[in-house]
Amino acid sequence: MSTALKVLARVMGVACVAIGVLHVVGGNAVIPGGENAGPTIDSLGRFFGAIFAGYGLAWLWAVRQAPVPASVVRVLSAIFLLGAVGRLLSLATAGSPHPFQIALLVLELALPPVFFWLADADADADADADADADEKRHGAAARS
């Protein structure tokens, strides 16, 4: 489980940084169905691309900690889920977006519960390793 958390968090971080940078560089041209959105949306998209890249860096920072901090995983997952809520609100008020956005919505609804479930995995594995090491030390001392 600890490995799954680390792999998923690293993939999430790299993907978010790449997508964010792509939006900063490409603007409206990289948004399916958004090519003709105009300069205001282009500016907004590039700004939020930078924010999304920073969000990805937060995932990459978290996965480099030992153990991976469960509270950070939960906060980052909740932020991702909030993005899905935003898409749902848009769907309800503005109508159906490009199908690619619907595919992203599915991921944004599916991944947070997985991260919430895995959030403690690395800390639990670390605690188990510490307990095993203590048991070995105490067992060796008792035999001597």
- Supply the DSSP string of 77-129, one letter for each residue: HHHHHHHHHHHHHHHHHH----HHHHHHHHHHHHHHHHHHHHTTHHHHHHHHH
Q: Are 13 and 57 in contact (CB under 8 A)?
A: yes
The DSSP output letter for 31 is S
Least confidently predicted of 13-17, 86-90, 94-98, 132-136: 132-136
Mean pLDDT for 109-132 is: 82
In the prediction, which pLDDT does 132 show?
A: 58
Q: Are 112 and 77 in contact (CB under 8 A)?
A: yes
In the prediction, which pLDDT does 20 show?
A: 98
